A and B are shown apart, each in its own frame.
Chain A
Amino acid sequence: MKSDRVFWIVGLLAFLLLFSATSEQAIAGTTGKIKGQIVDSNGQALPGANVIIEGTSQGTTTGPDGDYLILLVNPGIYTLTTSMIGYDQVSKTDVQAIADFTTTVDFTMNETALEMAAIVVVAERPPVEPDRTTTKYILDNSNIEEVASIVKDTEQVLELLAGVGLDGDTSIRGGDTSSSGSGSSDVVYYVDGVPMSAVNVERRSHASRNFQGVNASAVQELAVVTGGMEAEYGNAQAGVVNIVTKEGSKDFHGSLDYLLNPAGKKHWGSNVYDSPYYEDKMKWNDSNWTGETDPETGRRVHERTDYTGVIGHRLEGILSGPVVENASFFTSARYRGLAAVFPEGKQRGFYLYPDRKSGWVASPGNIEASYKLTGNARSKFKVGVGGIYGRSGSYWGGSGARRQLGRDIFLPEGSGSGQVKYKNDLTYVSLTHILTPKTFYEAKLSFFRDNQDTTNVPVDQYGEGVTEDIRRDADGYFTAAPSTRTEYQLTKRERINFKLDFSSQITKGHFVKSGFEVAFDKVLTVWERWQSMTSFSLRVAGKPYTRDKPWEPIQSSWYIQDKMEFHGLVLNVGTRYDRLDWGTQVPQGEHGLWSMAPMTKSWTRQQLIPLVDAKALQAWSPRVGVSHPITDRATIRYSFGVFRQLPSTWYIAQYGWVSRARAADFNNNGQIDPTEVGNQSDSRDWSGFWDRIKYETTTSFEVGTDWNFVGDYISSLTVFYKSGTDQFFYGNSYWWDPQLQAPQRGGADWRNNSYEDVRGIELSLRKNLSHGFAFMVSYNKQWVSAARQSGWWRTYFVPDSNWVATGTNYYVTHSRDTNGDGQVNSSDSGSEVPVPLTTDEIMEFGHRANERLRAIQNGAAADYDPLKESEIKEMEDWPGMWSYKQFNVNPRGRGTAQGTFGTERPGFGSAVFMYHSPTDYGPVWSDISVTLVYRMQEGRARRFALPGEPPKWWFGPVHTRADLAFVKRFQLRNQVRPTLYFNVRNLFNQRDLQPRPDVDWWKNGLDQPRPDSGKYNQFGDTGELSRYAGFPREIELGVMVSF
């Protein structure tokens, strides 16, 4: 395939460049700076002094004023050494470089009389980063390793940081997630400076979580920006997750981590086969029922399986080492074969949301891996190569297709059609060219692929679906055998991304960065489902009105930013330009209009919809951030910015149809020709492709302070306000049909008709590891007002007589005589051709159209309300077509203090406590770590009224969970270090209700059905399997070996 060819060409090129040139991997957005001044014992500047970073080839010489600057320093802890003839050599250890920050290390050198003596001091880390102009939280490799036994996955590590939601969606400050709202996550992810995912994430694809492919063991530094992002980051409204992966090493190092998750019931409530959930449907005491067999297969229908007896496994390993001299590699891979909570299509796999044990991916075989090639610089060119690789599978299908809770619980494991294969790959090459010691540019080329395909899907001889009726047991309830079912989703998303950044420390106080980025995307999703032999639905997101051609938009951006430093004040100013070129023509007007007009309602007739050139989408986004020191241990910061984001491609580009009958053989040739496929379908819901959409926009303002108030205790407090406008949600189009003389409700067009406002407080308190103890506490409290369909949510289209009379716009009949011979037979193509209106029809329909128009203009139309609806006007880009809009006076909002479209957690937080015993406490008690992670989330809101009172919003129950890890490390005489650990998840076995329970919880304190409920008194709590959040306490055992 073409994409594979590109993949290999890029990889080969990178490989050749690697060994022909140099390389120390250096990718911007992923490196920091070290600067400082060197003076003598009298405080006089020392020009010409050398400064090197030990263990690297990086270094520089001080200038006339004794200042030095080293750019492109990879995140990590270093030793800096200065030397100068006539002076004692000085080394400072524990110098930490952080991506996108400047570390200041000053030196004082003493004259030496006889020989150069060496002085080693420990660098005093700045308690707070003085150049932090936005809210940014950073975890380095050592922080991640401290919690590695209990926090296994990258997304779980992210959740420990303030501002990041705990629902597993990595929402930031209440922003949209990949499973909510417009389906587009407000967060952008970077790995080694390369953006992940193609054209925004969306919930219908596994790739919406592809950053999971970066294993926690591969992370060198993880940073989350929850406040204003600098101008170099775009296409996100809430924040940035920046992951820097580890470098290779000069010697071989590695580790293997195995975790055993013992068998056991992993859900609240009874064993499913005995649960009140099934009321009286399970008849284990009835020998006729237990002995029933399927007459077609002879298989016993009702058979219990030991779904709680499955042992789960998790294996993760890393390996790094030299490749050749001056080049090294790092690779990490992970396998997860955990047990499903309930009987599932396949009982081993993993969870997309491990903390909720939801989002089950039935994939006994799976792998997530990352790799990186690096080297030491020999010249001014630096090259890096890396990537992520993921493979897994699952099931795709509805009822009767696979084993699952409900009526399908007795289906055999592994049965059913519709098995899915997922492939997620990211490959990148970066080139850094240092022009001068203060100026460099970086170019990054990346290729991203996210594919999902369904296998073993049955189709008939015509390629149409084959779906059998579900066969039930003798009682007519449980599914006796897996039905043959046609349902599949094919998703192909690819992106070739090129980014060029130019950076220069122009003067001492100005660090300017500018760049541009262009992304070539291919997006195709086809989701087809046959509910029965005659009923199917189809949704496509791709090139308009095609079924197998991808949409190929081009996104480009340009930015410039200047980081200015004046006497401790840091000012970060920038602006960004974003643009979308559609790469295709789009329907004239709105697809929603055409979707319900009789003349273009079916899939085949929609091929006749006129397409026009699309206007490019473009926007500017200014950004400002300021940081000012209050004392040497405290800073205050402000940031303001406008952030744009393209809505999800799924909602921009999708079309949907349903059909109640199989395709008709229009040309009577005894087969369904390609031109006949879909000719009995109707267009339905979720229509897209409208070039009048805009970027979603969030204007964000925040004020924060960082304070190292005592010792190594650091607090951060931020107050923020975000105003989201032009948020994407659907509205409806209405087309007034002249023949029918009535408005036809069109499909739901997605449009920018919603808003959301978020105000909140974000608190972080941490103590770095010292004296064996460390902790990290974070808490977010937010107040949200949001309303869907809050603006002009309905659009009405009314043609005039000119439009009707063109002869090419409007039809009321179609003919199947495609060759014009007066007959319909096998010589015709099978498609339909529109029949032009007669003169009388033009006159009649044109008259009706004008009458309608005049009635609205004169206010005489009964269904037109000038108080709610705008003035009707002719569309500038569509002569002859008039439109007006209706303002939604009752938006589907959630009032105040509720939540955004998917994340309604008004408050959430976590606390991590770590204790580490000293290494000299004897063989038993030394090198022991105990880590406790405590999470808290407030409940979601429900609106109801108490007697005599107006409706109000009420918050639901809190959910808390504590996890404990106990780790014992051993040191053998060779370099091998075994480690044993055990984890206790949900240490206190806390059982909490789901975040939004029934109203009875608020009114009567009930978390179970009412005491007068007949069903409850007869069967017990039929909702017990889904009533509670989280999972019961479970213990995991692990062993890790590192060398």
Chain B
Amino acid sequence: MKLLAKYNRVNLITTIVVMLITGIIYYQAISWILTSQNDKDLVVEEQEVFDYVKLNNHLPQTFESDDQQITFTSAPMGSVKREFINTIYFKKLDSDKPQKHRHKHEDEYEAGRGLISSVVVGDKYYKIQIVESKVETEDLIRLIFIITICVIALLLITLVFTNRLILNRLWRPFYNIMKELKLFNIADVQDIPSVETTTDEFRELNNAVVDMAGKAKYDYNTLKTFTENASHELLTPIAVINSKLDTLIQTENFSQQQSKLLNDLYGAVSRLNRLNQSLLLLVKIENRLLHEQQPINLKDLAEEMIGQFEEIFQDKDIQLSYTLEDKEITASRYLVEIMLSNLITNAIRHNYRGGSINIILTDYSLIIQNTGESMALQPEKIFTRFHKSSKSEGSGLGLTICHQICESYNYTLTYSFWNSHHTFTIAF
């Protein structure tokens, strides 16, 4: 859930709850004020009756007004307790009289407020019931209520909008920092730019992010430099071993065991050498040190590579079929050669005698398929460093190198296993 949505939700709920509570209190207060106003009217009316009775010593004539009814009923002495009541006001429709509520054509009951009192006229005891219609009061309350609701709604809407506006603006530096973080690439030369903000928290966050990225980059570079230097330093001893071996085999008379040992040594040294070269190459690709680019006709290059491997195809009895279309790319010839060579070497190495290899070059992709083990490889692992099958004699870096080369030219290298063919696809 977005921060804004979360914030709005909490905000809205509390606002609505608070508004509802205040609304109820407001309603109660208004209706109490209006009822006491009614009661005052009723007391005035009662007083008028008392005055009339005192003056004339008989009951006033009952009359009916728009919103007041008085009834007198005789009652046993002292049986009436003076009280205010909520009652029903029965309204008769009077067709001659102009009505306030014209749409009401029938007699109707309305909410009313009544005062029960008593009066003594001579020796007679009467119960007075004065009832006043509360319809005006209720109309008033309704109006007030509607206005309040409108105000609340307006308030809520403005709140939501201002919140959105303010939050979006307030949080913009945060989103900017997030964007930079997402774009962060440890191998990139560029640093994370600092985001302009006046908010202390974001400035702190930004500083922390910039510091962290800088440190990560520094560590990464140190590690990379170490790899490079270590590989470089290894070159000389490997060169010495190699040359000593070359010298050693010039001496005569080796037993079968000795020559086997020497052969194994040669193999190990050449593997060590290739491993070292691969590591150096990876560092170079990652450092973008091989930036010299030139237009390359991929068809010609592929044909050349295929020619290079011709004897090996024959030796392993591998059927090669290829369809190559013209395709020109701009890249480092050295790297593209390495990539093709690695992929073809893999296709040969992981093949079986009498297997087949298909190479398809189109305008948008280069596909290299080979038969081999009937199990699919793990696509998420094969491009990682030093991942290789137990039987493989390679360095475990070949596909990593291919992947890095593709990445540096924005090609995508994918693996799929289809119809018992291991397929590597480079999409340009």
Is B truly associated with A?
no
> B residues bordering A, Cβ < 8 Å?
none
